[in-house]
């Protein structure tokens, strides 16, 4: 069995899964105070001046 990993720029349809993973990291680290929404990530990642990429 061969595993293939494909690296690409994020697209808007990735936002729900990205949010889920970010929330999981916060919980894993022992916190539960997570205040981002899909709308926040869309604006911050795809706005006029993107603040992050994935």
Full 3-state SS string of the chain: CCCCCCCCCCCHHHHHHHHHHHHHHHHHCCCCCCCCCHHHHHHHHHCCCCCCCC
For the stretch 8-47, pLDDT in tens is: 999 999 999 999 999 999 999 998 888 899 999 999 999 9
- In a domain, residue 5? The reply is no
Q: For 37-47, write each residue's pLDDT tens digit.
A: 999 999 999 99
- pTM equals 0.78
Query: Domain span at residue 28?
Result: 12-46
**According to the model, what pLDDT value does residue 34 have?**
85
Using CA atoms, how far apart are residues 40 and 18, in angstroms rounded to an integer?
12
Whether 38 maps to a domain, the answer reads yes
Query: Looking at the domain assignment, is residue 53 inside a domain?
Result: no
In a domain, 25, yes or no: yes
Asked if residue 19 belongs to a domain, the reply is yes
């Amino acid at each position: 069995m061969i595993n293939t990993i494909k690296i690409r720029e994020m697209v808007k349809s990735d936002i729900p899964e990205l949010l889920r993973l970010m929330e999981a990291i916060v919980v894993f680290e022992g916190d539960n105070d997570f205040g981002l929404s899909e709308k926040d990530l869309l604006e911050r990642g795809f706005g006029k001046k993107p603040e992050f990429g994935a």
